A and B are shown apart, each in its own frame.
Chain A
Amino acid sequence: MLRFALIAAAAIAFSAGAQAQTIRIAILGPMAFVQGEHHWAGAEMARDEINKGGGIDVGGKRMMIELIRGDTNEIQSVPDATNTIERVITRDKADFLIGGFRSEAVLAMQEVAMDYRRIFLGAGSAHPQLGMRVEQNYDRYKYWFRVTPPNSNDLGKTLVGVLGTVAGQIRKELNQPTPKIAILAEKAIWVEPILKALPPVFQKMQMEVVGTWQPSATATDVTAELAAIDRAGADIVFTLLSGPVGIVVGRQMGERNLRAVAFGINVEAQKEEFWKAAAGKAQFVSTIDTFAEVEITPKTIPFVRAFQARFGKAPTYNAGTYDAIHLLKAAIESAGTTNADKLVPVLEKISYVAAFGVVEFDKRHDPVWAPGKNTGIAVQWQDGKKVPFWPPQVKGMQPFRLPAR
């Protein structure tokens, strides 16, 4: 208790003395969960780097960054998230907002941020609706920018690219001219556009779709689904999973020695903890991802290594708060002001080389998807290690492996 009091007193004293010279950035995330942990960790790294380098140059004046930790608790409660964002804006006087994860909560938080005309950089929700609002009601929603991940429609493009590689390998190694593909997608809005767009593409790629299974995002058991997929004789299990069901799928596939290989979106499999969470059973599960120790841009490897050294784990896409803060720095320095209305046009035109790719925004303030610039990567779990394998032209990629039959 005393420690808390002392820290609080010190924080007040510090902020009172330094208020004029700091830029206050609120990091919003579910801090008791992995997502919030990475939001905060990425932001801390960016803050320390920038402050050590003398802060942000705002029209000739040096300003330090001060982070505000906004625990949104959004996984458990949407109202808590809106309460938190209101608090950081009105009480803590945050100048900028970064973070968010659960789409339902981010949609509500976006409204509050726009009420106060604060720039809000998304680093967690992939939902297209967030960006559609910018297009439909520009004057109100122009302060929203999504830094990471790409919106879910663009993720579909990456998926097709990677599937081409995977299917090619199956044809070659297993002598299977038309690989059979089973779609295992959680029941959610974000998978709908992908589910509509992809099956025709699969046919063009000469793959046979044997069925579509849609468990709940929070299902704890997919025994029945996997039994059916096994029966259908699939070679690839194409996953679209963001919830904890991703772990269950990985683990139960391994436990029943399914001969198919899993690839797709599996948000849980992007986390360092995935291998242990699946009790070491998730061999060869693969997913698209954001960060790995490969040279996507010159900044990627240094960032991933520094993150690993400081926090003892690899960053997830939520640690994109790191890039968001650096991006903000670049925008502020080029605009010479922290005024939100003046920063919006600067951000719209920016082309910033971040650790996960090159960030440019389209008219919906979504990151522009472009091969060679910003596509994301694909990774596969091999013997407890997350191994990057796509895009193959990037330096540092390793081969994709298929389970033995």
Chain B
Amino acid sequence: MYLVRRAWAELRSEVLVLPSRTLALVWALGVLALPALYGDPYALRILTMTCIFAIFAASWDLLAGYAGQVNFGHALFFGAGAYTSALLSLRLGVSPWATIWAGAAFAALVGLAVGFLCLRLRGSYLSLATLAFPLIVLGLLFAFPGFSGGELGISGLRRLVVTPVANYYVAAISMLVIVFALWKLADSNFGIVLHAIRDDEVAARASGINTQRYKLAVFAISAAAAGFAGALFAHFLRVAGPSTLEVALSFQVVIWGIFGGVASIYGPVAAVFLLYPLTEWLGSFRGFGEMRLLIFAVIVLLVLLFMPRGLAPWVRDKIETPCPRCKQRNVAWRSTCRLCGAGLEAQVARAQRLVGHQ
């Protein structure tokens, strides 16, 4: 009973006080409850894909948004996870439950390698150089078709579980756990260091931070999450093919990430949850199904014009305001900060008007 009450208190003071966290909670519960309400296999397939891509987008955000390593070749990690898991489970007959971890681990190694190669690169050089890596790997895959399956990829994989509902839960629970873990990580000291590296690497180094080690770590972690998503993807579709390494996928994740709002983790996830089902739904219409990518691009462009920092930060700014004194976030309609009691911006602005500023 105590535990229940304790949990409720935690929930009230940590989650329900902020509309964005409440929204996140409602969304997470919704994700878990969905099959009970709406068990259509087609919808479940779309949402399973959505969950997998949400992991992928969140992992990109940790690397690009927080650490500022704007990766244009994130598909490399996705593909590494997909191929590793596929090869191990097909050639060695290992259970896919084990190989998805192997996929994530190998992707982490690849991430370390890429991170190491990119240590000295920054800004646009880094983006454009990383774009090259998946394409180089693609060339190698074609060079060893006996091993990689060439243009067909590795097919005939086993699924983790059989029914659509079970598949959905595997993807959804993985997504919730990984996204929450990434969000926690980004919110921790580690995340703060990443912020520092992104904003001013020289200053961070001058403050005694081993920026190289942090950059390698964030490459590895982000790649592991992306690789996990790739492995799930391979076993869900039962094919791990060269399309997992294509430029299109790398660009796709950049669009999701920036559209949702970088350096927030939940922004890219929200973007995937909005855009992926939306384009799929548009695709089901006779006549303009073939225009879905066009509509997708137009929506992205229009939304960006109104919300240049992305969707999630825009929404958050509408419903929450940061406290001018302690920088904690508060509901937009509060008049004083929930933690330090200082007057919130609206108040300050009114006071300034009364005094005669501006």
Contacts and interface: CB of A to CB of B under 8 A. Distances in A.
A213 to B, nearest CB: 14
A188 B42 contact: no
A187 B150 contact: yes
Interface stretch (B123-131, B237-245, B309-317): B237-245
B351 interface: no
A12 to B, nearest CB: 11
Nearest to B49: A79
Contacts of A31: 289-290
Contact of B286 (A8, A83, A190): A8
A83 B46 contact: yes
Nearest to B233: A79
Q: Tell me whether chain B's interface is mostly helix, strand or loop, or mixed.
A: helix
B103 interface: no
A133 interface: yes
A4 B286 contact: yes
Contacts of A91: 40, 42, 284
A129 B49 CA distance: 26
Given A76-B293, A86-B42, A111-B238, A129 B152 contact: yes
A84 B237 CA distance: 13
Interface stretch (A101-109, A276-284, A299-307): A101-109
B280 interface: yes
Contact of B152 (A7, A71, A86, A107): A107
A107 B289 contact: no
A385 B16 CA distance: 73
Q: Classify chain A: how many residues form its interface, as a range.
A: 35 or more
A104 B151 contact: yes
A84 B290 CA distance: 12
Given A71-B290, A78-B241, A188 B151 contact: yes
A129 B241 CA distance: 14
Contacts of B150: 187-189, 192
A90 B42 contact: yes
B287 interface: yes
A47 to B, nearest CB: 16
B243 A77 contact: yes
A262 B269 CA distance: 51
Given A78-B239, A78-B241, A104-B242, A87 B151 contact: no
Contacts of B241: 78, 104
A284 B42 CA distance: 48
A387 B287 CA distance: 36
A32 interface: yes
B156 interface: yes
A313 B151 CA distance: 30
B283 A73 contact: yes
A216 interface: yes
Nearest to A186: B151
B290 A32 contact: yes
B41 interface: yes
Q: Classify chain B: how many residues form its interface, as a range.
A: 20 to 34
Contacts of A129: 152, 155-156
Interface string B52-65: 00000000000000
A133 B239 contact: no
Interface in B216-254: 233, 237-239, 241-243, 248
Contacts of A32: 290
B257 interface: no
Interface in B266-289: 280, 283-289
B156 A217 contact: no
B266 to A, nearest CB: 23
Given A7-B286, A71-B289, A78-B243, A83 B45 contact: yes
Contacts of A84: 283
A374 interface: no
A90 B46 CA distance: 13
A83 B237 CA distance: 10
A43 to B, nearest CB: 15
B260 interface: no
Interface string B288-321: 1110110000000000000000000000000000
B284 A87 contact: yes
Interface string A52-86: 00000000000000000101010011111011101
A189 B283 contact: no
Nearest to A216: B142
A362 to B, nearest CB: 20
A108 B284 CA distance: 19
Contacts of A111: 237-239
B284 A4 contact: no
A82 B151 contact: no
A127 interface: yes
B149 interface: yes
Contacts of B280: 80, 83
In this complex, which of B155, B238, B248 has the most chain A Cβ atoms within 10 angstroms of its Cβ? B155
A4 to B, nearest CB: 5
A111 B289 CA distance: 23
Contacts of A90: 40-42
Contacts of A82: 45, 237
A364 B81 CA distance: 32
Nearest to B237: A108
Contacts of A71: 283, 289-290
Contacts of B341: none
Given A4-B287, A87-B284, A188-B151, A78 B45 contact: no
Contact of A133 (B151, B156, B287): B156
Nearest to A71: B289
A44 to B, nearest CB: 14
B44 to A, nearest CB: 9
A32 B153 CA distance: 24
Contacts of B292: 73
B151 A189 contact: yes
A91 B15 CA distance: 38
Nearest to B145: A189
Contact of A189 (B40, B41, B149): B149
A79 B241 CA distance: 11
Interface in B31-54: 40-42, 45-46, 49
A108 B239 contact: yes
Given A4-B287, A104-B241, 5 more contacts: A83-B46, A91-B284, A107-B155, A107-B156, A189-B152
Interface of B: 40-42, 45-46, 49, 142, 145, 149-153, 155-156, 233, 237-239, 241-243, 248, 280, 283-290, 292-293
22 contacts: A4-B286, A7-B287, A31-B289, A71-B290, A73-B290, A76-B293, A77-B248, A79-B233, A83-B42, A83-B280, A86-B41, A87-B42, A103-B151, A104-B151, A108-B155, A108-B237, A111-B237, A187-B142, A187-B150, A189-B145, A189-B149, A190-B151
